[in-house]
Amino acid sequence: MDTLKKNPQAEARATKPQTLTAASGDAGRRLDLFLAQSVPELSRTRIQELIREGHVRVDGRIAKVSHRVAASESIEVEVLPRPAPEALPEDLPLDLLHVDDDFVVLNKAAGMVVHAGAGHSRGTLVNALLHRLGNLSAAGGALRPGIVHRLDRETSGAMVVARNDRAHEHLSEQFRSRNVRKIYLALVHGKMPRDSGTITLPISRDPRRRTRMTARASKGRHARTGWRVIARLDRCTLVEAALHTGRTHQIRAHFAAIGHPVVGDTLYGAPRGVRAGTRNLPLLARNFLHAARIGFSHPSSGAWVEVRAPLPRDLRVYFDQVAASLGWREAEIEAALAPYVGQP
């Protein structure tokens, strides 16, 4: 079942049908190509959809996509806008950490897209939330109900989602004014030079690889990431990162820019494996980046709310492998990860 549905009201907002007459120079052209040139406000894809849906007639007869135009033919097309899609509920696994009348906090799984977009019409976090909770805030739009912030597809961890419009606006304002506390756990390559620090490098779209951002350009949007070392593991460092701004791929771009890409993040230059002691560990299946905690003011009471998202099993297992390869005892591993596993 498709988890995006069409809005029938949009289909009803059709403009008056356009009638075109094919000239002799148009003879032999495919109908969709003729219409793409004659009705430039419609994309070729949308024209093909309209033909298949019976909204294009040639000399009064419903046309086919394969039709070739003949001179003097009368072509009538109903110029319908593409219906705005809406997300539909879908029964998917969902880890809810905190449920409230105003919002929920969940532990997003790595690999799950937050909302529908290019190439992702189903299987999203929004689809799962609609199935579990029913209505969410409408302020985010039909494809992003309740969504006030996002995590990258391969980043796991704590996310807050609004359940009503008032809460949505309140939470969105906290994000805009940078009053939300966001703490991430990341395993990065290399030895961090100090025990703590701040990265303040502007972030912009990478002009050579448009799927990623860069913090190596002289211009961009202001971004600030605070960090502190949690554990040193030979050629890797486990760090806690605090986001003071919320730019796209901020942690990934910032640590890559200072020569310490996140383990598993090959998009930002991470090696394809980790050397731990005498062992070469295979490439992690995703980025070692987890949104460990999120804190904000309650939209109704104003009380401070802070929720921890336990470290997922795949990252815990990988950290254990790295530490064990360096001769760490189980007690040392438990001590390093204690604030990030289980509920407080």
The token pair at 59 is: 């000399």
Dist. CA 157–CA 112, nearest whole Å: 11
CB-CB contact of 103 with 160 (8 Å):
yes
Residues 6+ apart with CB under 8 A from 344: 308
How far apart CA 285 and CA 168 sit, in angstroms, is 34
Beta carbons within 8 Å of 35's beta carbon, 6+ residues apart: 20, 42, 47, 56, 75, 77
Q: How many residues does the chain have?
A: 344
**If you ran DSSP here, which 8-state letter would residue 119 be given?**
T
Of 26, 32, 102, 152, which one is the catalytic site residue? Answer: 152
Helices vs. strands in the chain: H and E counts, helices first:
8, 19
| Interacting residues of 310 by C-beta distance below 8 A, sequence separation 6+ | 107, 340, 341, 342, 343
Provide the pairing of β-strand 18-21 with 61-62. unpaired
Decide: 250 and 202 in contact? Cβ < 8 Å: no
What whole-number distance in Å separates Cα of residue 312 and Cα of residue 318?
A: 10
- The CA dihedral of 294, 297, 301, 307, to the nearest 10 degrees, is 10
Residues 6+ apart with CB under 8 A from 156: 107, 108, 109, 110, 289, 290, 291, 309, 312, 315
Q: Does residue 152 have an active-site annotation?
A: yes
User: How many Å apart are CA 55 and CA 63, to the nearest integer?
Assistant: 8
Indicate which residues carry an active-site annotation: 152
